[in-house]
Structure 1
Amino acid sequence: MILVYINLINYMDRYTIAGVLPVIANDFRIKDSDSGLVQTVFICSYMVFAPVFGYLGDRYNRKYIMGGGIAFWSVITLSSSFITKEYFWLLLITRVLVGVGEASYSTIAPTLIADLHDERSRMLSFFYLATPVGCGLGYIAGSKVTSAAGGDWHWALRVTPGLGIVAVLLLFFVVQEPPRGGAEGRIRRKPLTNSSWTSDIKSLLKNPSFVLSTFGSTAVAFIAGALSLWAPTLLMRARTVLYKVNPCLRDVLSCAEILLFGCVRSVTGIVGVKAGVKISKRCRKKNPRSDPLVCGFGLPCAQPFLYVSLVVAKKSLISS
């Protein structure tokens, strides 16, 4: 439950900026291409350091690595809330550093769950429920706190650092470091041993299931990441055009569509994760390959709805 809580604030912190991106762009007087850099530099940093922390997590105490990473991104996020409008480049640097901290947790936490439970799919589904819920809460908290602060987006970045410090304390004083491979302890005869980086890479590249699953996950992250970053901005601009209102950012931030979008993001994410696990579990009795089949069937089913939501946004935000 503590790991789920940390994952929740992890994604909440990641998408708080998305909920107030138009305000940030207006404050720094930057274009959309520069606004996108706020998330791009974060993802690039995350991508580079995730394998590094994965390597360290296999060899050193995972709890200490995660605790240090959470404390690091909490301090950096709080520091970024004091950046003035003359230093947009400094905001980008802080987002790079936040990516380093978040990579340390997101990479290692699932391995603790895998070592604690035999029923990994079910337990990991609870862990990943925090992803859509955290995204939705990030939109809501970012927009509402900024609106309450009179349009000052800096206050939105001061919400998650306090929650992060609580997470560090819970991690150090409550969470236990399970033995590696503990869930297979009944059947494993030989102890786990460390292997070299190159041998790990070669072994993974020879595993077609891993390679294809990685490509699929990358494609999903590409689409979901773009939508998660730009959807609040789309709703704000569409509201201005459709309802012929003045583009007052403080008023737009408090619009019902943003709150509804955050709620929809959270609720549908929960439904999707739980439904996927349930369907896969039932189908596994007839087909052991049910997990990839459910993923492969679910993704194409979502594409028509994605297209329609963008088309109908021209006429109705609620329908979109």
Structure 2
Amino acid sequence: MAHSAADSDDSSATAISPSGDAANPQLTAAAPIPGARKALVLLLSINLFNYVDRYILAAVEKPISEEFGVSKGQMGMLVTAFLLTYMIVSPVFGWLADRVSRWWLIGTGVILWSIASGASGLAMGFATLFAMRCLIGVGEGAYGPVAPTVISDLYPVSIRGRVLAWFYAAIPVGSALGYVIGGFFAKPGQWHWAFLLTLPPGILLGVFCFMMKEPPRGGVDAAKPHKATLQDYKSLLRIKSYVLNCAAMTAMTFAIGGMAFFMPRYLEEQKGIPLDRASMYFGAITAVGGLLATLAGGMAGDALRNRFGGAYFIVSAAGMLVGFPIFLAMLYVTEPWLLWTLLFFAVFCLFFNTGPSNTALANVTHPSVRATAFAVNIFAIHALGDAISPAIIGVIADHSNLQTGFLLVSLTILVGGVLWLWGARYLAADTAAAPTSLGNK
């Protein structure tokens, strides 16, 4: 999307610095909006419980399968049902979030998925549990594409990367907590409590959302108010950095989603590590490595953006390109200490892009369409990513082994890195153009 002097309130042309904003007064707000920290803490807490709720099921799926008498394939359908519902409804809520109070949408979504998660503990059969996973997908669809846009309207571009990194750091930590909490109740007749315990904190967090003040859309970006049209939404596809970012994130999600699903089994079958130990160690590595990488990636992107216009993409690409050979090496080592070391650094590298890539999504889109932009991204990365990669690895493993499946799917790590490098050349100009890309049309 071109940005020229005609698009500015000033009659003189706007100079673009290497970061894309140093000479642009519309992007130089230095301070967050009052109340930003309280909002961030609330949204981070919600995101933490979001991933706790998601991964409790993985920890207790065996006793559920035995109690209901269903196969592993049917249990896998619970994950598919959640992801399909989540990615389908996300664009709907993204569109609504561009028009109505986002805090009310978030609060409603949190309460809905908390009720559905708690009700999972009362399920007396597989059909009820399946329906509850779908409802969790609806609730998270009202939250996932909306929360990052609130943070983006609270914090200026100069520090947005590290702030969003804190928000997304809840992913590895919440996932690991889900395994831990679920593990305490992974016994016949006790798995119900794992779900029931998620209900009170979820309801409480949802209620807090209704007390929050809606931040002005694009306030820290100095973006002009604009009622988005269908053409505005179509214009997202003309933002090269946005499209390439979505493609790179899809490649990354494809790789991580498939390999994370089968990693404990891979460690047992290919490396001879007992399943309980494999799950515990892998969960700990994901929590620590993912947390450190998410925070470090966000800080690195913010630190380098004044020197390199495409810093967020360069940082993202670096993690993928360095992580690729480390992951390949992990597949072929036999010494346990070296295996766990390489796996830790592979996880670190693959999570390094989380903060920068999501920050770039916010920075290159006008606030009037930002929620929809995040929703479209959610749809793409799941529909073409982790919704299909576990099945692909499974089919390959059925005809060969998990080693071969991991080897082939890991090639998408390399693809993601190349796509981010490609997009880096467009990021600065797209960031500078975003605040006025719609308002002056």
TM over 0.5: yes
CA distance in 1, matches of 2:185, 2:338: 23
Q: CA deviation at 1:309?
A: 4.2
1:91 partnered with 2:129:
yes
1:306 partnered with 2:327:
yes
Instruction: Report the equivalent of 2:219.
Output: 182
**1:227-277 superposed Cα distances (whole Å, 9 cap, x missing partner):** 444445556x5599656xxxxxxxx7xx45433332221111121112212
**1:207-229 superposed Cα distances (whole Å, 9 cap, x missing partner):** 11111111111222222223444
For residues 141 and 318 of structure 1, do their structure 2 counterparts lie closer, same or farther at Cα, with a shift above 3 Å needed? Answer: farther
CA distance in 2, matches of 1:44, 1:315: 39
Whether the 8 Å contact between 2:153 and 2:220 is mirrored in structure 1 is yes
CA distance in 1, matches of 2:198, 2:161: 28
CA distance in 1, matches of 2:305, 2:297: 12
**1:33-78 superposed Cα distances (whole Å, 9 cap, x missing partner):** 3222111111111111111111001100111111111111111111
How large is the Cα RMSD of the aligned pairs? 2.6
Instruction: Report the equivalent of 2:312.
Output: 291
CA distance in 2, matches of 1:309, 1:90: 40
Instruction: Report the equivalent of 1:123.
Output: 163
Identity of aligned residues (%): 34
Secondary structure of the 1:60 match is coil
Instruction: Report the equivalent of 1:194.
Output: 227
Instruction: Report the equivalent of 1:319.
Output: 339
Greater shift, 155-164 or 255-264, is seen at: 255-264
**Aligned mate of 1:60, from 82, 97, 100:** 100
CA distance in 2, matches of 1:13, 1:318: 32
**1:275-315 superposed Cα distances (whole Å, 9 cap, x missing partner):** 21232233323311111111112113223343444555x88
Whether the 8 Å contact between 1:4 and 1:130 is mirrored in structure 2 is yes
Whether the 8 Å contact between 2:165 and 2:297 is mirrored in structure 1 is no
Secondary structure of the 1:182 match is coil
The amino acid across from 1:157 in the alignment is F
Instruction: Report the equivalent of 1:262.
Output: 283
CA distance in 1, matches of 2:116, 2:191: 16
For residues 70 and 170 of structure 1, do their structure 2 counterparts lie closer, same or farther at Cα, with a shift above 3 Å needed? Answer: same
For residues 307 and 141 of structure 1, do their structure 2 counterparts lie closer, same or farther at Cα, with a shift above 3 Å needed? Answer: farther
CA distance in 2, matches of 1:152, 1:135: 20
Aligned length: 298
CA distance in 2, matches of 1:98, 1:317: 39
The amino acid across from 1:271 in the alignment is L
1:19 partnered with 2:59:
yes
CA distance in 2, matches of 1:91, 1:307: 38
**1:159-200 superposed Cα distances (whole Å, 9 cap, x missing partner):** 322220121132223x3211111212xx44x4x12222x313
Instruction: Report the equivalent of 1:249.
Output: none
CA distance in 1, matches of 2:47, 2:214: 17
**Aligned mate of 1:274, from 290, 295, 318:** 295
The amino acid across from 2:49 in the alignment is I
Secondary structure of the 1:272 match is helix
Instruction: Report the equivalent of 1:152.
Output: 190
The amino acid across from 2:254 in the alignment is F
**Aligned mate of 1:3, from 38, 43, 48:** 43
1:105 partnered with 2:109:
no
CA distance in 2, matches of 1:319, 1:112: 40
1:220 partnered with 2:255:
no
CA distance in 2, matches of 1:152, 1:260: 24
CA distance in 2, matches of 1:151, 1:161: 19
**1:72-95 superposed Cα distances (whole Å, 9 cap, x missing partner):** 1111111111223xx323322211
The amino acid across from 2:68 in the alignment is F
Instruction: Report the equivalent of 2:91.
Output: 51
Whether the 8 Å contact between 1:242 and 1:315 is mirrored in structure 2 is no
TM (normalized to structure 1)? 0.84
The amino acid across from 2:217 in the alignment is R
1:165 partnered with 2:165:
no
**1:99-151 superposed Cα distances (whole Å, 9 cap, x missing partner):** 1101111111111111111121121111111111111111111112335xx66
CA distance in 1, matches of 2:226, 2:56: 40
